[in-house]
Amino acid sequence: MCAISLMLAQPAHAVAGAAPKEPLTAAGKAQCQAQLTEFNQSAQVYNGKVDEIKALEAEFNALNAVIEKEQAVVDRRDSAAMEALNAKIDASNKLVERHEQMGRSIEAMASESKLRAAQFREQCENRPVAPLSPPRSQPKDPVCGSTDGAKGVERQIEAALVEMRGDEKRHQAEVDRVYEARAKAQSWGDEKRGKIWLQVLGSPRFMAFEREKRPLVQELMRVLGSKPRNGQEECRLIQRIAATLPAIKAINARQYAFMADEIRVAK
C-alpha cells in the first residue's frame, strides 16, 4: 500500500491517435481544482489508515516472534506459563482480525480513490484551455462588458488557483515539519504515528472545518454546472468563482493551523 495524492497538471500534448478533448474553460479549471482539493484531503485520511495498518503488521510480527520463542521453551506442565502463552496467542488472533477488517476498509477506500482519480484525469488532464468567449451584446456590467475586463477576471481566477496550490504545499510542509519534530521528541513508533494522524483527521474540529467548507464547495459546483449562453454570463460566473475561492482558502489555512497545533501537543 502506498500514499496517494493528486496534483492539477498543466495541459499536455494529446496522445497520438486519441480523440481530442474539448477545451477546458476557466470555470472548468476551477472545478478541477475544487475536485483536486477534496480528493487530496480524502487521501490524507487514506494514507493515515495505511500507516496504521503498517504499524499493526509490525506489532503482529513482533508478537509472533515472541510466541514462537516461548512455544519452543515453555514448560507445558506449568499452568501459569501456559496461561500467559495462550493470552499472547489470543492477542495475536485479535490483531489478525483487526488487520482483516482494516484491510477491507482500505481496499474499499483505494477502489474509490482510483475511480475518482480516473474521473479527475478524464475530466481535467490533457485538455487545452479555451479562450474566453466575447459577449454577444453590449452588457451593463463595467467589468464583463469589455474584453479587457473579462480577461482580467479570468487572470484573477488563474492567480487565485496558483496561490491556492502554493498555499496548500506550504501548509502541508509546515504540518509535516511539526509532525516529524514532535514524533522525534516523543519517540513515537510507527503505530503511534498512525494513531496520531487518525486522531487529528478524525477529530470534531477537523470535521467541523470540512462541514464549513462543504456549502462553499457545493455553491462552487452549482456555479460550475451552469451553462453560460454568452461571454458576459461566463464572465459573471467566473466572478462568482473568484469570490468563493478566497473563502475556501481561508478555511484551509485555519484547518492546517489546527492540525499543526494539535500535533504540537499530541502525546
Torsion-angle region of residue 126: left (phi > 0), alpha (psi -120 to 50) or beta?
left
249 falls within a domain: yes
DSSP state of 128: P
1 falls within a domain: no
pLDDT value for 177: 92
15 falls within a domain: no
Q: How far is 96 from 105, CA to CA, in rounded Å?
A: 14
| Residues in CB range of 60: below 8 A, 6 or more apart | 92, 95, 96, 99
Residue 9 grid cell: 497538471
pLDDT value for 256: 92
201 falls within a domain: yes
pLDDT value for 128: 59
Phi, then psi, of 229 in degrees rounded to 5: -90, -15
Ordered per-residue pLDDT tens for the chain, 267 residues: 444 444 444 444 444 444 556 666 766 677 777 777 777 777 777 778 888 888 888 888 888 888 888 888 888 888 888 888 889 898 989 888 888 888 888 888 777 777 777 777 777 766 655 554 444 444 445 556 555 555 666 677 677 778 878 888 898 899 999 999 999 999 998 888 888 888 888 888 999 988 888 888 888 777 767 776 776 677 777 777 777 888 888 898 999 999 999 999 988
User: Structural domain tally of the chain?
Assistant: 1
Q: How far is 22 from 16, CA to CA, in rounded Å?
A: 16
204 falls within a domain: yes
Please, are residues 179 and 261 in contact by the beta-carbon 8 Å criterion? Answer: no
215 falls within a domain: yes
State the amino acid at position 222 in one-letter form: R
109 falls within a domain: yes
pLDDT value for 146: 53
pLDDT value for 180: 92
173 falls within a domain: yes
* Residue 103 structural domain: 26-264
